[in-house]
Amino acid sequence: MEPLKKYIDIIGFPMDLGADRRGVDMGPSAIRIAGMMEELETLGYHVQDLGDIPILSKERQKIINPKLKYLDEIVRTSCLLAEKVEQSLQQGRFPLCIGGDHSMAIGSIAGVSAFCRSVNRTLGVIWIDAHTDMNTEETTPSGNIHGMAMAVSLGLGDKSLTHILGFAPKVQPSCCALIGIRKIDLLEKEIVKTLQLPVHTMSDIDRKGAHAAIQNILQSLSHVDHIHVSFDLDSVDPSVAAGVGTPVAGGLTYREVHLIMETIAECGCMASLDIAEVNPILDNRNISARLATELVASSMGRRIL
């Protein structure tokens, strides 16, 4: 397992083309305003903010395929993000991607996977989310690409998405684990079952507890060399985080989600991280972005005592 990196690159990805509801493109600003950089510096990291990847707004383009909305711009910008992430890892730094809707993970995981390939490391992905994001253009009810990011990383879906940086899949199903899940579309369920994707639903957490669930995940990934965590803020209950892209009732509590992040930090195996779906328009005085910032700190080693 690779130890936590001392140097962090913050990469902003102000993307809202992957989702219907507007506002997540302001997520990177909200997270910066919440003090992400200062929080990490307090923990002793050297932080460099690489700024945002420029993305064309919805007003400046048309939907060509309603089953893959804004595909071209998402592919173009995902490539840019993937290259930035790969570069950051090549320089021995820790890429922290702040979004933006969860289609961001298509690019970030592509970059991490390309790096792992080049140095012969096995990649593992922990997907913390209310949704499995396992749709393809054939199963999607909405055509929104943020609901396809996990599937794309596993090599399922449109080739222009799955083959970013020229290869697929980016990660194997047995090297993934999903947690916080409570909403899966009907056809999406079939894909999840066929792939035997390790999914830890909210009812699993109700039964076993959040700590046991994340420990189980970390144990199941003990064979991988690099763990990428893709965190969708809608995994948290809307009563705690209202400012998210797609709120779903019955999510992780404030303490459960911190405990999950603290346990990931204890294992010392996380080598890259996404924070997605912060929507300041639906938020109340930036509470959700502040929570996102705290959770990053917990995952990077902040302790109560």
Task: Kindly list the residues in this chain that would bind Mn ion in the complex (CB under 5 A).
Answer: 102, 129, 133, 232
Tell me the closest approach of the beta carbon of residue 294 to Mn ion, in angstroms.
20
Closer CB to Mn ion, 232 or 256, in the complex: 232
Question: Catalytic residue at 16?
Answer: no
Cα–Cα dist 170/195, whole Å: 15
Q: How far apart are CA 190 and CA 139, in angstroms?
A: 10
Among 9, 52, 86, 131, the active-site one is 131
Query: Is 226 known to be catalytic?
Result: no
Q: Write down the least CB distance from residue 177 to Mn ion, Å.
A: 14
Min dist CB 171 to Mn ion, Å, is: 16
Candidates 39, 52, 129, 185; catalytic one: 129
Catalytic residue among 86, 234, 237, 283: 234
Q: What are phi and psi of 288, to 5 degrees?
A: -70, -40
Active site residue 274: no
CB of 9 or CB of 232, closer to Mn ion: 232
The reply to whether 234 belongs to the active site is yes
Smallest gap from Cβ 16 to Mn ion, in A, equals 13
Q: 280 with 243: CB under 8 angstroms? A: yes
Q: Is the Cβ of residue 39 or residue 277 nearer to Mn ion in the bound state?
A: 277
Active-site residue set: 102, 129, 131, 133, 146, 232, 234, 277
